[in-house]
Amino acid sequence: MRKNIVAGNWKMNLDYEQGVSLFSEIVNMVKDEVVGNQEVIVCSPAIHLYSIGKLATGKVSTGAQNIHQAESGAYTGEISAAQVKSVGAEYVILGHSERRAYFGETDALLAEKVNTTLKHGLKPIFCIGETKEEREEGRFFDVIKEQLEKGVFHLSAEEFASVVLAYEPVWAIGTGLTATPEQAQEVHAFIRQSIAAKYSAETAENTTILYGGSCNPKNADELFSQADIDGGLIGGASLKSRDFLDIVKVFNA
């Protein structure tokens, strides 16, 4: 059975003390308020990973926002999968639209990063999604299928079982716009069908697919109630403990 997951992406926000303080708040609030089986993940800047990893619990995991595809070497400013693993993190966000747009990350490069992530026992949160232009031109299914095929469909079924997917319509990230529940569900269903066609119906049924794109406490319930939406990759709302927990609590049993 697939997991319900709410993952926070702090992006390039919060200094060291602010990050540790926020994570501590989240851990305590999860302990007091979460009664479901949902998993909570916080993907922080690298400076926080060691310290928040010490505060992580069985209910709240940590993750990095990126890794380099190489094992180690002369890559100034980068972080390796082994380094991320060594501080207790369990997840890595890969393929976020901001990495694709601002840093030129290609599907081929991301496939290498996926391989390195899995090699070190980390779980990729692999992001896919279309731009506003691609949606308006009706090409979004083709774009998403290509991102899946080039980024993760080279994996064996066993390897793919460790992958969490996140559909993030690029036009809804940081814009205040949100895909309607029907639009999001349509794409999530397509992603699940694509997984079934590549691997099996069982693999598709067991794959967690998150929605990312201006998800907030007001719209999370309607989004997460869709059949193929298993949680969210949360940006801005993850920087406020109350907002983040209200999203997490949508899955309270």
Structure tokens at 229: 């939406």
- For residue 170, what are the CA distances in angstroms to 83, 211, 212? 29, 11, 9
Q: What is the DSSP letter of 241?
A: H
d(CA 193, CA 235): 27
| Contact indicator for 46, 64 with CB cutoff of 8 Å | yes
Measured distance CA(135)–CA(168) in Å, rounded: 12
User: What residues does 61 pair with on adjacent strands?
Assistant: 41
User: Which pair of structure tokens corresponds to residue 167?
Assistant: 């559909």
Angle formed by the axes of helices 241-248 and 16-33, to 10°? 40
Separation of alpha carbons 38 and 61, rounded Å: 11
Residue 32 exposed, middle or buried by CB count within 10 Å (0-12, 13-18, 19+): exposed
Query: Which contacts of 196-202 are long-range, i.e. CB under 8 A and separated by 24 or more positions?
Result: 198/148, 198/153, 199/157, 199/160, 200/157
What is the chain's length?
253
Q: Say if residue 174 carries a ligand binding annotation.
A: yes
**In the structure, how many helices (H) and strands (E) does the chain have?**
12, 8
List active site positions.
Answer: 96, 168
Is 214 annotated to bind ligand? yes
Residue 163 and residue 161: Cα distance in Å, rounded? Answer: 6
Residues at the annotated binding site for substrate? Answer: 9-11, 174, 214, 235-236
Residues at the annotated binding site? Answer: 9-11, 174, 214, 235-236
